[in-house]
Amino acid sequence: MIEKLKNYIHHNQKQLEYMRSLSPQNDKWTGTVDYAVARFNTILLKLINTPLKLDEHYGDIIECQRVIDSFVENVRRYYKWPRLFKWYPKMCIYGIGTKQIPRIKNLLNNIND
């Protein structure tokens, strides 16, 4: 299971590099992913040290990884889709950023308590 968590860290690093390559275009989205990945990595480091909490929060970890992947995928869609259809990924990015990304911060706060 710890090997899978390490894979999450490497995967998120690649996604963060992709977002930074888009940096001149939209700093808000890059910053959102940067904070989310930093918090997620902190969660993983804390949970690796406590295996009982890791088992308890494993479903939440998978959900957080899905949220980060979904956010980055919608940013990719936004830049690759024709201008006529860009409204859809932009709305998805807004929804994920306001409703789902804060779950990562809440999970970090729950683990700290």
Distance from the first to the final alpha carbon of the chain: 24
pLDDT digits (tens, 9 = 90+) for 54-81: 889 999 999 999 999 999 999 999 989 9
pLDDT digits (tens, 9 = 90+) for 36-48: 999 999 999 999 8
Does 26 or 8 have the greater pLDDT score? 8
Q: What is the pTM of this model?
A: 0.90
Kindly tell me the number of DSSP H helices and DSSP E strands found in the chain: 5, 0
Is residue 81 within 8 A of residue 89, CB to CB? The reply is yes
